[in-house]
Structure 1
Amino acid sequence: MTGLDLGETNVTDKVMSVRSNSPGVRTPFRIAALYALIGVLWILFSDRLLFALFTDPDILTSLQTVKGWFYVLLTAVLLYLLIAGMSSRLKSTYTELAAEKDYNNTLIRRLPLGLALCSMDGQLVDANPAYAAIIGRTVEETMTLSYWDITPRNYAEQEQAQLDSLKATGRYGPYEKEYIHKDGHLVPVRLTGLIVRRDNEDFIWSTVEDITEQQKASKALQQSEEKFMKAFHATPDAIIISRENDGMLVDINEVFIQQSEYTRDEALGRTILELNLWADPLDRERYVAVLKEQEKVREMEARFRTKSGRFIDCLVSGEFFPLDNEFYLLTIVRDITERKAAEAELEKYHLHLEEIVKERTSDLLHTQEALQYLLEDVNEAKKELETKLAEIERMNRIFVDRELRMVELKEKIMELERKLKGAGRSA
């Protein structure tokens, strides 16, 4: 099998088309017509010419024979030239068609899109390698299968609807279903097809695309969108999505509704300017200028005005992003009103503390001066005390010395008395 049978059928049809449209195809009729025309002209004019030039019957008979042979030779040469030309053109046509057939078969074999030909009862007649690869088989293995061998039973109703469409309109799809892979897992595919006729029999010509990666990408995109929407509505900051070209708001989150006091219906379809959200036009001009220069803004401090006229302090961030061939602006508004109020209170408290510190510092300076004077008095008293203590120490030493001498004198007197008593006894 050199390629899909449908490809061979198309080539055969093209041969017939070329035959019907090519000058070579009309050659038999042209040869016959030319032969008849030459014959008629030859008979009419050659005989008249001979009778006009010659009157001798013997000469006329001989010339008639020569004329006949000349006519046969002339027509033979003409027939040869015409047939040779026709043969050359047909050979060239068949060569071109053979090359085109090889090209088409090669193209079909290498085409990444699955192609299959099956009978009206679902038996696969031919398929390209891409189709066989979708179901995990070789082309030879695929040819042993029926369309229903690779289709899960739960698609029976859907398949019947497609067959009804095929019979009614001559084509079906595109629609999506699943094929049963050789290893048992299901392969999502997208199909479209039409009825083709070959050898007086109808067949179904189908193109099949493996959409596994598309579904994975679609699922990943859906999950990403779900995550974005969760973050979009769960974030504590107000989020605005607007079109770049006209500034029209296309989506807002619940925090924006709470902060701005505008309902979703009131905000969507209008611009920030129309909602009069910027409290200071200079803030908007600064925001737009940074966006134009850097294509993004990070935490620019500004003031917004709510629907009721209340002002809120904000940090505004923004960045452009593409979506569906358009650019949009994602703006994030963080309410810092309470933080600013707390900072103001903290600043007042700091100023109050500074005043207290200044007062305490002044008191400490006065106290330090008083302590300095007191310390000087203490030092003077200390010096006087040290002088008095030294005098007392000197007097104490004098008294101690006197006391020691008195004790010594007393001991000497007692010693003398003992000696006197001893002398009296001896006498």
Structure 2
Amino acid sequence: MSQEVLTTETNRRQLQQIIAGLSDGVILLELDQSILWANEAALAMHGVSTIGDLGAHADEYAKRFSLRYRNNHTLSPEHYPISRVARCEVFSDVLIEVSPVGDPERLWVHSVRSMVLTDREGQPESLVLIMSDVTDWANAEQRFEKTFNANPAPAVICRLSDLRYIKVNPGFLEMTGYTREQVIGTSAYEIDIFEQAERRDLAIQRLRDVATIPQMQAELRLPDGGSKQVIVAGQPLLLNDENCMLLSFVDMEPRRKVEVALRQSEERFAKAFRLSPVPILICSAEDQHVIDVNQAFLETLAYDSEEVLGKTVTQLNFIDDDGVRVGLLAALAKNGRVDRVDVRVRKKNEDLLDCALSADTVNIHDTSCYLLVLMDMTERKRTELELVAAIEEVMKDASWFSRTLIEKLANVKKFNSPQLPSASFTDLTARERDVLGLICEGLADKEIAARLKLAPNTVRNHVATVYSKLDLHSRSEAIVWARERGLFSGEWGTKGQR
């Protein structure tokens, strides 16, 4: 064996001894592309235990292992790092994913670089493939990438060395209307997030110091020339061994629109409340303290505002009947609203008004309140009562009522008594129903007695019982009561169609 060969072999053994204990994987190749040697780290990075498991040469290696770039682009065998170094190519920091052919679940991520060792004359003598296992780093980066992209909060990542955006998530693109190509690689001076920020100087200083940027309001310019109100905050992070800033955003536009709509709604409510000719009172639902009243309430009840505001509904005592007031508030607490309850309202001078009161629950400045609306029915009710009294006085005998007049009387009674009495037609006996039906036909007591073949006193007793059970006081009221319930609809005024 020549001295030159011995020297070469000695150098290789020394080289192998040096690299055997390295944490980086090393594969040595001959110039003919055959795999000469690999250290333990290189074998572990391929999930094998012997050099022969890597294959005898570059072509066999390509048949045993599948390689692809991080973007899932599969490498053809001629682009494998082992094939490239076999062609004496020099490269560095090539990131590839390696898995055994037929077993894609076993996967490693390698950062690969090459070396071409030369002899004294500068001619290639040995080929070296050096790899680092960056699987854990790649998995962590992949998890971060997925989390970053899935985060519903709009966000970008700015590299601090050159202030360029290197990542952007879909939330930011959706919020702003930018495309990914318009953001990635763009300078922070072109898309200036802090241009209109309320604490711009502080944000810039924190970027220089690689320090947390506190939340602040900013106006973000959009690609269509418009702008959007946002809240922005920054958090430093290390990405690919480079200082970066994660900038996250809250879109204030929906909130601003809600606030504008709420303010407009409150303004409309306030105007309607003030200008309404109907008396209105607002009190808290919790303790019924009066929060506000409109001018119509003050004028109708003859109060000054300082005499009303701050008092409770009970202290104000404008509802004449305590039982009605208690029942009204109980119904509001239970149901949240009441419709057209007849109440008598006491004015400051003790005069009484007949009113229909309606109330509902409203939310004012995040406080549950009751809105009480009064409709003064005094004059109308007096007129209607006078009309009914006149009719009943002139036409004592119900047989003289025409069908039209009965219906009008029923409507008047119904208006003044919006809630029907609790008595039911089924509360009457069969004989009492017969008597009520004949009353509705307009028959007098004697005629009813003859029709039913009863004594007149018996008929009078039945009539009295019907009045008592139904809380009625006259034949006309009995007719109206039956009319409201659609009873004996074919029998109205058969004797008195005049």
Using the size of structure 1 for normalisation, the TM-score is: 0.51
Structure 1 residue runs without a partner (length 5+): 1-79, 85-90, 356-427
Structure 1 residue 192: Cα displacement: 1.9
Length, aligned pairs only: 267
* 2:144 is the alignment partner of 1:104: yes
Contact 1:151–1:178 (CA under 8 A) maintained in structure 2: no
Q: Aligned partner of 2:158: which letter?
A: C
Structure 1 residue 229: Cα displacement: 1.9
Pair 277,151 (structure 1): closer, same or farther in 2 beyond 3 Å: farther
Partner of 1:12: none
Instruction: Report 1:23-102 matches (<5 A).
Output: 98-102=138-142
Structure 1 residue 316: Cα displacement: 0.7
Partner of 1:252: 293
Structure 1 residue 113: Cα displacement: 1.1
* 2:234 is the alignment partner of 1:186: no
Partner of 1:319: 360
Structure 1 residue 156: Cα displacement: 7.1
Contact 1:166–1:194 (CA under 8 A) maintained in structure 2: no
Secondary structure in 2 aligned to 1:106?
helix
Structure 1 residue 110: Cα displacement: 1.6
Q: Aligned partner of 1:104: which letter?
A: F
Secondary structure in 1 aligned to 2:266?
helix
Q: Aligned partner of 1:110: which letter?
A: A
Equivalent of residue 149 in structure 1, options 174, 190, 194:
190
Q: Aligned partner of 1:314: which letter?
A: C
Structure 2 residue runs without a partner (length 5+): 1-39, 45-107, 109-132, 396-498
Partner of 1:402: none
Q: Aligned partner of 1:111: which letter?
A: N
Partner of 1:215: 256
* 2:315 is the alignment partner of 1:278: no
Partner of 1:238: 279
Paired with 1:271 and 1:167, the residues of 2 have a C-alpha distance of 60
Structure 1 residue 268: Cα displacement: 3.0
Instruction: Report 1:15-30 matches (<5 A).
Output: none
Q: Aligned partner of 2:141: which letter?
A: K
Paired with 2:391 and 2:186, the residues of 1 have a C-alpha distance of 90
Higher relative contact order (CA 8 A, sep 6+): 1
Secondary structure in 1 aligned to 2:196?
helix
Structure 1 residue 343: Cα displacement: 4.5
Cα deviation digits, residues 209-233 of structure 1 (max 9, x gap): 2333332233222222222222222
Structure ranking higher in helix proportion: 1
Contact 2:278–2:296 (CA under 8 A) maintained in structure 1: yes
Structure 1 residue 188: Cα displacement: 2.8
* 2:159 is the alignment partner of 1:114: no
Structure 1 residue 174: Cα displacement: 2.7
Partner of 1:308: 349
Structure 1 residue 162: Cα displacement: 4.5
Paired with 1:349 and 1:180, the residues of 2 have a C-alpha distance of 76
Secondary structure in 1 aligned to 2:310?
coil
Q: Aligned partner of 1:118: which letter?
A: C
Paired with 1:137 and 1:127, the residues of 2 have a C-alpha distance of 10
Structure 1 residue 115: Cα displacement: 1.4
Structure 1 residue 326: Cα displacement: 5.4
Q: Aligned partner of 2:156: which letter?
A: A
Structure ranking higher in strand proportion: 2
Pair 131,272 (structure 1): closer, same or farther in 2 beyond 3 Å: same
Partner of 1:373: none
Contact 2:198–2:217 (CA under 8 A) maintained in structure 1: no
Pair 249,162 (structure 1): closer, same or farther in 2 beyond 3 Å: farther
Structure 1 residue 320: Cα displacement: 2.7
Structure 1 residue 194: Cα displacement: 4.1
Contact 1:242–1:251 (CA under 8 A) maintained in structure 2: yes
Structure 1 residue 105: Cα displacement: 1.4
Secondary structure in 1 aligned to 2:190?
helix
Pair 334,172 (structure 1): closer, same or farther in 2 beyond 3 Å: farther
Paired with 2:194 and 2:211, the residues of 1 have a C-alpha distance of 24
Partner of 2:380: 339
Equivalent of residue 124 in structure 1, options 143, 165, 176:
165
Pair 122,156 (structure 1): closer, same or farther in 2 beyond 3 Å: farther
Contact 1:239–1:331 (CA under 8 A) maintained in structure 2: yes
Contact 1:129–1:138 (CA under 8 A) maintained in structure 2: no
Structure 1 residue 106: Cα displacement: 0.3
Secondary structure in 1 aligned to 2:152?
coil
Pair 197,98 (structure 1): closer, same or farther in 2 beyond 3 Å: closer
Structure 1 residue 108: Cα displacement: 0.6
Which structure has the larger Rg over C-alpha atoms? 1
Percentage identity across paired residues of the two chains: 25
Using the size of structure 2 for normalisation, the TM-score is: 0.45
Pair 151,100 (structure 1): closer, same or farther in 2 beyond 3 Å: closer
Paired with 1:246 and 1:191, the residues of 2 have a C-alpha distance of 42
Pair 122,94 (structure 1): closer, same or farther in 2 beyond 3 Å: closer
Contact 1:118–1:204 (CA under 8 A) maintained in structure 2: yes
Contact 1:313–1:335 (CA under 8 A) maintained in structure 2: yes
Structure 1 residue 207: Cα displacement: 0.7
Pair 284,194 (structure 1): closer, same or farther in 2 beyond 3 Å: same
